[in-house]
Amino acid sequence: MAVNFSNDPTAVGFFAPTRFEADVLECEVIKGEVPKEIDGAFYRLGWDWFYPPRLPNDAGPFSGDGYMGMFRIRNGRVSYRGRYVRTPRFLANLEAGRQLFGVYRNRATDDPSVRHINRTVANTAPFVHAGRLFALKEDALPVEMDPNTLETRGFWDFNGKYRAQTFTAHPKPDMETGEMICYGYQATGDLSRDVFVYFVDRNGEVTREVRFQAPIVSMMHDIAITPKHIVFNTSGFVTNPEWMKAGNVMWGWDPSAPTYVAILPRDGEGKDVRWFKGPTRAAVHLLTAETVGNKVIVETPVSDGNPFPFFPQMDGSPWNPKLAVTTLRRWTFDLSSKKDTWEEEIVFPNAPGALPRIDDRFYGLPYRYGFMGYADPSRPFDEKRAGNVGGRVTNVYGRFDLRTGRIVGNYFVGEVGSLQECQFIPRSRNAPEGDGWLIGVASNYAEMHSELVIADAQRLDEGDVARIRLPFRLNSQVHGWWANADQLPLV
Amino acid sequence: MAVNFSNDPTAVGFFAPTRFEADVLECEVIKGEVPKEIDGAFYRLGWDWFYPPRLPNDAGPFSGDGYMGMFRIRNGRVSYRGRYVRTPRFLANLEAGRQLFGVYRNRATDDPSVRHINRTVANTAPFVHAGRLFALKEDALPVEMDPNTLETRGFWDFNGKYRAQTFTAHPKPDMETGEMICYGYQATGDLSRDVFVYFVDRNGEVTREVRFQAPIVSMMHDIAITPKHIVFNTSGFVTNPEWMKAGNVMWGWDPSAPTYVAILPRDGEGKDVRWFKGPTRAAVHLLTAETVGNKVIVETPVSDGNPFPFFPQMDGSPWNPKLAVTTLRRWTFDLSSKKDTWEEEIVFPNAPGALPRIDDRFYGLPYRYGFMGYADPSRPFDEKRAGNVGGRVTNVYGRFDLRTGRIVGNYFVGEVGSLQECQFIPRSRNAPEGDGWLIGVASNYAEMHSELVIADAQRLDEGDVARIRLPFRLNSQVHGWWANADQLPLV
């Protein structure tokens, strides 16, 4: 049975699977100069179907094979390497020569021959802690990869001290303490309400575990930390045994599901979790949070409806693109109040975007700036040259001043491009917050290749300081991570 | 100094450098089925500028960095791997971040810092002998590569027993004796007239050396062998110290240069070489030869003028595309005659092509069939969809019956493609001559990717039995080689 994507309607154009692993020993710089101060690696993880999906109702961004990319930057030169994550699933498929696994997080849809094989695709977010590089996805343990060769080393369970069956795609580094705060939801198996939280020290040792239960089974994709609290949230993405039995992807959108937010004191136990309850929302990716007196303030992109068209509406209603629009909002939780609700303020109503970043050095610390790609419809898009790429595209990176509520500078990718999630590179170890560069990948639709762009984070309006051309399209990124050379044993 | 090809006018479109190394763990089969009987590797070597040329008068196909591709075929599945040949030159450039080497085979045009570094790009032909894979180019010793990983192992000098400074891109295997017959011209240094010939047994041991001198310094690219003789030839590509001093590529075309052909008895010494002299010709690649009684019959593509526009006319005349047309001809040398000339017969006047192959098992043996890509202008070419690829393209593989002078079947690549040199895969070890498949790479200009095509060599008119899609353009091939799994330690 030969590999053939001709029956896969998504395998065309810029977003078709790339299907190859690549090394570009030195990349072409088509504009500007790569700052010589930059020394580190920009990792990007995403999906790339190596074999076509087994079932048409699968969700590519969640089920496509994990593919890690690395831009190594040093001395003004850039190299690129891309490798599939060799998960047990990837290897089982490779042996069979076809896709054996069914839809996202629903084992009943798999080929019976792989019933006992871990089905993660490890395709969501790269993360670096204690000198190790991980490929993360919330349905399994971290997959460790060699930070230079991108060889897959296998699952990492923290010497047996991490006991959840799952691990978030978005642990949080506390740059003050060096700790990593991480968790797994559905920690004891599919559809369980168990959440296990772990504190891991700067050497990678688990120092503490906290267990609690969520009121519902819902996607709990990200958290935010402050020096005193950890914030968890559910969303309209829920599931149940009947939904699973019908052969669906795990998540459906329930337009009537309340949103639950858990606030756990960092020194507390499971019993100390305080739950809040609000209207249906999706806050998939949290920017970050602060504790100010008795208040916990979370700043995060939020949508009122289903942001992911590939996860069906549970009530059979059509997907509503208006309710999918995600804007940066402020959620204020008053711990001194007896109420179980919170205040929501839309801080940036006109900058729709869903993948926010901060200067990573300020996780768990007071902060002022956020960085995020968003769609600015006032910018030109040359549909004729770019071809039919559909919808409105993320065409700018903005610098968001959370103190004033103003966007202070944005970077425009150009008339035939779009932008993927950016990362922040500090100018130096002790540079002030936000002093550094944004780095991210642009899709050049007109020329069908990808570009790496580097812009001065404080001078976004001046355009990129360097633009690097890849000789091919890159696979679709979900998230990225920047690692300075002092954080990994980079060669 | 950053890598930037924007000043290189050749770095656009389908023939621009690819600049990356790649693995496709399993290729997509878009048509037909890969015959399960095929077990081996199709290697293809060619050029791909990793850094732009140092000088505008360089000759890409001769100076672009060597790049080896491997299609491993087994159990009806195909994988692809592509790697640059890590020559000393490639590594020196990589360290410097730019092209340090000047024009083809003219060391005076190099950066002074690399005056002592071997300047071969090893980009002409793969070859397999005694269980080793080589990347060959006529200006240096063979570069050995790992047949599975394509890792470069370095120069190979046959345990010190090969004493020429150069090694042909086209040694000949004698399938009857298991020998490899090889040689170097300019064997004692640039512009020397020395030719050293070596006989290497099936275990890779040099058993004999023959030395002679050519009457002129000229490109001596290929040889033909029969059970009794070895045939060498010069062409209109010549050089001299003044030409070199002017900063030219080594070869210029002299429209008045005679062609010299040397016939060496296989059991003879240098003194036994018999020289023939004829009108200006280029017979760059010889199909093969036979000894019949006192006659040596060579069948080979020949042009009356310069076939390579990138090697300048020495007299300053414009390149003449009509004289560049290469047709399959028969040269008959009568060893019983005292004359130093030969008879030329144009056997296939209407099938212009320059890269002929036989069923490799018949090198040195009586044979009947040749296989060659050629331009058939009666076939459609959709210029609008294919884009401007220029000139007339090689669009068919033909099966040439040398006994009858007829083309018995040809394979047409399609309206938007062209074909690179084909190789022959025997159906089984003892199958009759020509019973097997042709394999080669097609360029799909409309979709800007390459395809591997496999056609039944005895049923070319029926089209390909399998067509494999690469997710990118491949680099420009010069030559290929097919190795059955029993000829190399393939995994």
Q: What is the per-residue pLDDT across B205-229, written as a single tens digit (0 to 9) for each?
A: 999 999 999 999 999 999 999 999 9
- Answer whether A77 touches B (CB < 8 Å): yes
Total of domains in chain B: 1
Give me the mean pLDDT over the B53-67 stretch: 97
Would you call B30 and A94 a contact, using CB atoms and an 8 Å cutoff? no
pLDDT at A6: 87
Distance of alpha carbon A103 from alpha carbon A60, whole angstroms: 9
Inter-residue contact A89 to A118 (CB < 8 Å): yes
* Secondary element (H or E) of residue A243: helix A241-245
- Answer whether B178 touches A (CB < 8 Å): no
Closest by alpha carbon to A237, among A246, A248, A223, A229? A248
B8 within domain boundaries:
no
Closest by alpha carbon to A45, among A66, A62, A61? A66
| SS3 (DSSP) at B337 | coil
- What is the percentage of chain B residues whose pLDDT exceeds 90? 96
> What Cα–Cα distance (Å) separates residue A312 from each residue in A108, A319, B92?
18, 8, 55
Nearest CB among A18, A28, A80 relative to B3 is that of A28
Question: Mean pLDDT, chain B, as a whole number?
Answer: 97
A4 within domain boundaries:
no
Q: What is the CATH number of the domain that holds A301?
A: 2.130.10.10
Give this complex's ipTM.
Answer: 0.96
> Which residues, other chains included, contact B86 with Cβ-Cβ below 8 Å and sequence gap of 6+?
B151, B152
B2 within domain boundaries:
no
Please name the residues between 346 and 365 in chain A that touch chain B, using a CB distance below 8 Å: none
Inter-residue contact A469 to A30 (CB < 8 Å): yes
With b meaning 16 or more CB within 10 Å and e meaning fewer, what string describes A281-310? bbbbbbbbbbbeeeebbbbbbbbbbbbbeb
pLDDT at A304: 98
> Which residues, other chains included, contact B158 with Cβ-Cβ below 8 Å and sequence gap of 6+?
B198, B200, B204, B205, B206
| SS3 (DSSP) at B90 | helix
- Answer whether B253 touches A (CB < 8 Å): no
A42 within domain boundaries:
yes
Residue B77 pLDDT exceeds 90:
yes
pLDDT at A146: 98
- Answer whether B446 touches A (CB < 8 Å): no
Count Cα atoms within 13 angstroms, Cβ side, for A276. Answer: 25
> Which residue range forms the structural domain that includes residue A240?
13-487
B4 within domain boundaries:
no
A6 within domain boundaries:
no
Looking at the complex, report in whole angstroms how far the Cα of residue A323 sits from the nearest Cα belonging to chain B.
37
What count of CB pairs under 8 Å joins A to B?
A: 79
Would you call B22 and A20 a contact, using CB atoms and an 8 Å cutoff? yes
- Answer whether B71 touches A (CB < 8 Å): no
Query: Side chain identity at A338, as an amino acid letter?
Result: K
pLDDT at A391: 65
Closest by alpha carbon to B377, among B398, B392, B399? B392
Would you call A26 and B4 a contact, using CB atoms and an 8 Å cutoff? no
Distance of CA B202 to the CA centre of its chain: 22
Contacts of B473 in chain A (CB under 8 A): none
Q: What is the CATH number of the domain that holds B17?
A: 2.130.10
Distance of alpha carbon B170 from alpha carbon B262, whole angstroms: 16
Contacts of A2 in chain B (CB under 8 A): 28-29, 33-34, 76-77
Residue B6 pLDDT exceeds 90:
no
Inter-residue contact B57 to B248 (CB < 8 Å): yes
B7 within domain boundaries:
no
pLDDT at B1: 64
- Answer whether B74 touches A (CB < 8 Å): no
**pLDDT tens, residue by residue, A42-74:** 999 999 999 999 999 999 999 999 999 999 999
Residue position matching structure tokens 């068209």 = A309
**pLDDT tens, residue by residue, B327-386:** 999 999 999 999 999 999 999 999 999 999 999 999 989 999 999 999 999 999 999 999
- Answer whether A11 touches B (CB < 8 Å): no
Looking at the complex, report in whole angstroms how far the Cα of residue A68 sits from the nearest Cα belonging to chain B.
14
pLDDT at A39: 98
| SS3 (DSSP) at A417 | strand
Nearest CB among B6, B22, B27 relative to A21 is that of B22
Would you call B26 and A94 a contact, using CB atoms and an 8 Å cutoff? yes
Would you call B472 and A21 a contact, using CB atoms and an 8 Å cutoff? no
Distance of alpha carbon A38 from alpha carbon A436, whole angstroms: 9
Contacts of B28 in chain A (CB under 8 A): 2-5, 19
**pLDDT tens, residue by residue, B272-316:** 999 999 999 999 999 999 999 999 999 999 999 999 999 999 999
Would you call A471 and B5 a contact, using CB atoms and an 8 Å cutoff? no
Nearest CB among A6, A20, A26 relative to B471 is that of A20
Distance of CA B342 to the CA centre of its chain: 25
* Secondary element (H or E) of residue B242: helix B241-245
A1 within domain boundaries:
no
Give me the mean pLDDT over the B405-409 stretch: 96
Low-confidence spans in chain A with pLDDT less than 50? none
